[in-house]
Amino acid sequence: MKLFSKNVIVGLLLSIGFSVAQAEGDMVSPKEASVLTAEKQAVIVDVREDDEWNAGHIAGAVHIPLNQLDARLPELQSYKESTIITQCRSGKRSLKALEVLKSAGFTKVSSMDGGIVAWTKDGLAAQQK
């Protein structure tokens, strides 16, 4: 029985480790996102609420609040073959948006690690509305 328990625990730990590694592969740093968007290799989809967007956002980003994303997926069809970087305030909602987009068939999707908080902390510009 002990051998079985150890194997189950090891299996669970490996599967958790795999999930973490997979999630890390879906992340880009704010500096990476800045370079990719400047070189027109990616588009940022900002999933924050209107008041957050109005307080400051990344130039060129597409604004679709997370709670509207499912209904507004057709607006992103022109980016289906492009790299999309989801972004929010700190990185939690953007991970949810990443999953929504992947479920809808978007294959080149990443989430910006740390959101706009990390973006501004890294000294990158955000514009006011």
* Phi, psi of 69, rounded to the nearest 5 degrees: -60, -50
- Give a three-class secondary structure readout of 19-84: HHHHHHHCEECHHHHHHHHHCCCEEEEECCCHHHHHHCECCCCEECCHHHCCCCHHHHHHHCCCEE
> How far is residue 7's CA from residue 82's CA, in Å, rounded to a whole number?
41
> How far is residue 8's CA from residue 58's CA, in Å, rounded to a whole number?
45
Active-site annotation holder among 58, 64, 66, 88? 88
**Does 88 qualify as catalytic in the annotation?**
yes
Q: Active-site residue numbers?
A: 88
